[in-house]
Amino acid sequence: MTRESAFAEANGLRLHYLRWRETGERGPIVLNHATGFLAALWQPIAARLAAAGYEVIAYDARGHGDSDKPAPTDENYHWQNFVDDLEAFLSELGLRGVPFVGHSAGGASGLQLAGTRPGLLSRLAVVEPIVMPGGLHPDEARRNDMAEGARRRRMSFPSRDEMIDQYRSRSTFQHWQPDLLRLYADEGTFDSEDGSVRLKCPGEVEGAVFANSGSLDIWSVLPHIEAPALVMAGARTEGYLDMVAQGVAQRVPHGRFLQLPDAGHLAPMERPDLVADAILAFLAS
């Protein structure tokens, strides 16, 4: 299996992407990560999909990984930008009618694009997409807390090993597979001139994305999605996100819901094999 790294000009930005393939005989599939992370974290899932014959393409969203990082303003990180980036990325690579996998905010972008531009995505497998149900608005206090927490996030570590040691003690990362935490430390950071390592996604960027959560009315476009959709949620996730995932599955005309045992909101990093199995079964159905 090969893994290639490349860049695409999309929506005025230079977006970094990875491509995994063995034969690629089943055609391309596009993967979109959650806020604060990067394409490389799809590695174990991408490897499974590539082994099954897919050409797997995952890109770093604006502000993340090795993609361009516009200034952390509300204008640059309104969620419509992520939808426009996805559309432009597909166009740049000549992709149309392709399956799509998205996690959290990445899943939300795919749903919005599928509901407004039919035909671009043939199937959607999304893990806990961030969608605000109709008539409800994001809790402003919680949204601000998440944004401020991201802005205050520790960005620098003496070494990648120390970063891993620090993250193992945090509730967010307690259930991650060890190799995924190592992958995040290795590929989600860069070497600074002073010998330390720094996260590739700046806290100000992550904070701007959180501050703009709910800036799209995705709920209203769900009934217009023509593509079949699998909506997944971890059994350990908080009740609100589980409720949203089930609501999205019910609202999409050809949607269905799947609960992932022993997983939380970060299921792709906690139970990658389980998520890959679900995606492959969905694509084969």
Run means of pLDDT, 10 residues per run, the chain, 285 residues: 94 98 95 98 98 98 98 96 98 98 98 97 98 72 76 92 95 95 98 96 95 91 98 94 96 98 97 98 96
Residue 180 located in a structural domain: no
> Which domain covers residue 126, as residue numbers?
2-137+214-284
Residue 110 located in a structural domain: yes
Residue 34 located in a structural domain: yes
Domain count of the fold of the chain: 1
Residue 201 located in a structural domain: no
Q: Are 189 and 163 in contact (CB under 8 A)?
A: yes
What is the structure's pLDDT at 148? 85
DSSP 281: H
Q: pTM of the entire structure?
A: 0.95
CA angle 15, 221, 131 (to 5 degrees): 65
| CATH classification at residue 73 | 3.40.50.1820
What is the structure's pLDDT at 136? 62
Residue 202 located in a structural domain: no
| 97-131 residue pLDDT tens | 999 999 999 999 999 999 999 999 999 999 999 99
What is the structure's pLDDT at 135? 59
Residue 145 located in a structural domain: no
Between CA 281 and CA 228 the distance in angstroms is: 13
Q: Identify the H or E element spanning 20.
A: strand 13-21
Q: Are 244 and 277 in contact (CB under 8 A)?
A: no
What is the structure's pLDDT at 139? 64
What is the structure's pLDDT at 273? 98
